[in-house]
Amino acid sequence: MITITKETSVNINVDGCSLIRNAKKIGKGRFATVYSSGLFVCAFVKDCQMKEAISLWGDQENPHVPKIKKLGEGKNDTMVYQMPVYHKLTASNKTAWSQYKELQNIWSQVCQQSTRRTQGMIDSQHFCDLVDDSKVLTDDLKEAFRNIVDCGLNYGDTICVEIAPRNLMVDDKGNLILLDILFDSKLLPWMK
């Protein structure tokens, strides 16, 4: 059992042994609450299985696939994952920024053609095809994108892609990291 013993500056323990001391909360999304020790990150995730998918099938050799390791169960039906500390994507990361802009262009094309019927697997596959055709994106990034979509689709055909700056980061080398580009539309009431 993974527990948190303090709220603002937290200690994270795995089966009673200390994993992180004095970690700080650095993020909160729809499904994850994220803590960092400065050396690595722990995400406590409820309901969403996309981090699990990448921890199981993500291509660990690909520089754009986030390195996610499942640690175990936390309290209140959460699952806990460990990751490297990634950094906010900004325009100063020139290559990563231009790759993000290209992904955003492709996303708006997919959204324009999307209907309720195509949402999920069909849109995700269409997205992968447009990514493959891109003249801007590198082969590594194309492979990372398809690998992540394939990871997600193992959990069903309601998996969608979302390109948003909060979900794309850069690593210490400035590589674009496709951190959290998938969501399951069946978990979002307004998309049902």
Ligand X SMILES: Nc1ncnc2c1ncn2[C@@H]1O[C@H](COP(=O)(O)OP(=O)(O)OP(=O)(O)O)[C@@H](O)[C@H]1O
The residue ranges that bind ligand X (CB under 6 A) are 26-27, 29-32, 34, 41, 43, 48, 83, 85-86, 166-167, 179-180, 183
Please, what is the minimum distance in Å from the beta carbon of residue 66 to ligand X?
7
Distance of alpha carbon 168 from alpha carbon 189, whole angstroms = 24
CB-based contacts of 164: which residues, under 8 Å, 6+ apart? none
Please say which residue, 101 or 166, places its beta carbon nearer to ligand X.
166
Work out whether 174 is an interface residue with Mg ion (CB under 5 A).
Answer: no
Work out whether 63 is an interface residue with Mg ion (CB under 5 A).
Answer: no
Q: Which range of residues in 72-80, 89-97, 147-155, 177-185 is near Mg ion by CB under 5 A?
A: 177-185
Distance of alpha carbon 108 from alpha carbon 122, whole angstroms = 15
Using the rule CB under 5 A, which residue among 29, 63, 84, 174 binds Mg ion? 29
Question: Cα-atom radius of gyration of the chain, to the nearest Å?
Answer: 17
Please say which residue, 81 or 143, places its beta carbon nearer to ligand X.
81
Kindly give the residue spans of alpha helices, DSSP state H, lying in the chain: 50-57, 94-113, 121-133, 139-153
Distance of alpha carbon 97 from alpha carbon 88, whole angstroms = 11
Work out whether 180 is an interface residue with Mg ion (CB under 5 A).
Answer: yes
Residue numbers at the binding site for Mg ion (CB under 5 A): 29, 167, 180
